[in-house]
């Protein structure tokens, strides 16, 4: 910061003193004009019995950084219900991070010629991109012609990092080399941008549903009618009916995805573990699928998350508090990115079935009144 900016900024510090907490040593924080930390309440939910590809069946707790009452309790109730029925399982389906640079030409014909030329430069492009990081691996590059421009949708694997910055740096390097190699040739680039919105960076879009941006994961489990009645306060049949009513209302509303409130868990764990909170935008599309067995009265659930941009190294994951939260989830250290995504999805599913049960048995308002406002009960009309 320059002297003039310092002069403007300094008077604000006294106003912020009560809210930033103990700043401590902030010299290592990579945030401009950093003055300290805003404290967010941290609740612990679980335990949840979960198993995954590299995670043996075990009880896991999750940290939820949130200001919303009832969230931790509701998620814990969902965990208890699934635990009594054998817990949840998850599988990782994909892992990718994208960037979509744009090359603009004089006419659509020139853009078409360049798009057809792409297969010839892909191998060199991959080498140039991968030279920027030992963790980055090129996956694919697909040209999209829009007017006189070619948007290149490029995806990479980024190891244990979420990779937003990694793919930006890699794509810039490879595109700079490509533009230099094209100089004086038949493909005359008029304008270049590192991103043209095709990568859905921190924005909800069908692109993040069709093309994984982060970790693609599915989690599933089942609930017996007995557990639904004893823990959730409703029958499995009535919970199934509620899920279908949810879906129909969502369709009429043009809702993006089909879930109860999975974004609550995604945001809370993102903040607690040092993920990029803005990436909740592309992560919040999830698909809750209930399947009812009329013979056994068991209710099976799965939750599909096509794009969870998470990492266990880099960004905010290296700070002390966030490292502690990752350790709590057994997700600190190498090779844990998929596990973190699977656990986020699993706890999100636990919250969804508990929220759905509260709507089914008409205790949703009561629980929020009791936990958020300390009101024992809310008046109900005589029906």
Q: Is-contact 204 284, C-beta < 8 A?
A: yes
Instruction: Tell me which DSSP letter residue 39 carries.
Output: -
Q: Is-contact 63 325, C-beta < 8 A?
A: yes
Angle at 237 between CA 236 and CA 240, to 5 degrees: 85
Q: Is-contact 217 285, C-beta < 8 A?
A: no
Q: Is 196 helix (H, G, I), strand (E, B) or coil?
A: coil
Q: 78: exposed, middle or buried (C-beta count within 10 Å: 0-12, 13-18, 19+)?
A: buried
Task: Output the CA–CA distances (angstroms, integers) from residue 176 to 104, 125, 157, in the order listed.
Answer: 14, 10, 21
- Best CA proximity match to 178, nearest among 165, 199, 194: 194
Task: Output the CA–CA distances (angstroms, integers) from residue 267 to 17, 21, 23, 215, in the order listed.
Answer: 26, 22, 24, 16
Q: Active-site residue numbers?
A: 68, 276, 368
Task: Output the CA–CA distances (angstroms, integers) from residue 10 to 34, 91, 352, in the order listed.
Answer: 12, 50, 45
Q: Is-contact 136 158, C-beta < 8 A?
A: yes
- Best CA proximity match to 217, nearest among 160, 153, 287: 287
- Best CA proximity match to 117, nearest among 61, 165, 187: 187
d(CA 364, CA 381): 15
- Structure-token pair, residue 237: 């049949």
């Amino acid at each position: 910061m320059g002297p003039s900016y310092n002069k403007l900024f300094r008077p604000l510090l006294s106003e912020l003193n009560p809210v930033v907490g103990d700043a401590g040593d902030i010299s290592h924080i990579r945030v401009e004009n950093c003055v300290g930390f805003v404290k967010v309440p941290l609740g612990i939910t679980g335990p949840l019995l979960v198993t995954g590809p590299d995670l043996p069946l075990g009880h896991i707790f999750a940290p939820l950084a949130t200001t919303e009452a009832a969230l931790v309790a509701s998620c814990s109730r969902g965990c208890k219900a699934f635990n009594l029925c054998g817990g949840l399982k998850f599988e990782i389906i994909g892992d990718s991070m994208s960037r979509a640079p744009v090359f603009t030409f004089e006419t659509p014909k020139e853009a078409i010629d360049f798009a057809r030329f792409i297969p010839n430069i892909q191998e060199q492009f991959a080498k140039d991109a991968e030279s920027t990081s030992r963790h980055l691996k090129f996956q694919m590059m697909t040209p999209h012609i829009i007017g006189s421009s070619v948007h290149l949708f490029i995806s990479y694997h980024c190891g244990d990092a979420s990779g937003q910055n990694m793919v930006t740096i890699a794509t810039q390097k490879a595109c700079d080399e490509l533009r230099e190699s094209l100089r004086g040739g038949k493909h005359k680039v008029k304008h270049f941008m590192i991103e043209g919105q095709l990568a859905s960076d921190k924005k909800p879009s069908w692109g993040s549903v069709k093309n994984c941006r982060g970790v693609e994961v599915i989690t599933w489990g089942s609930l017996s009618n007995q557990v639904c009645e004893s823990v959730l306060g409703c029958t499995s049949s009535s919970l199934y009916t509620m899920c279908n009513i949810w879906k129909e209302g969502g369709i009429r509303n043009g809702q993006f995805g089909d879930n109860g409130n999975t974004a609550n868990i995604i945001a809370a764990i993102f903040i607690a573990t040092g993920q990029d909170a803005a990436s909740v935008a592309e992560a919040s599309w999830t698909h809750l699928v209930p399947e009812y067995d009329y013979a056994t009265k068991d209710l099976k659930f799965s939750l599909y998350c096509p794009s969870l941009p998470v990492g266990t190294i880099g960004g905010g994951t290296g700070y002390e508090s966030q490292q502690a939260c990752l350790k709590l989830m057994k997700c600190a250290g190498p090779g844990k990115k998929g596990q973190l995504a699977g656990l986020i999805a699993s706890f999100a599913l636990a919250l969804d079935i508990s929220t759905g049960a509260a709507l089914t048995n008409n205790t949703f308002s009561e629980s929020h009144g009791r936990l958020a406002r300390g009101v024992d009960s809310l008046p109900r009309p005589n029906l």
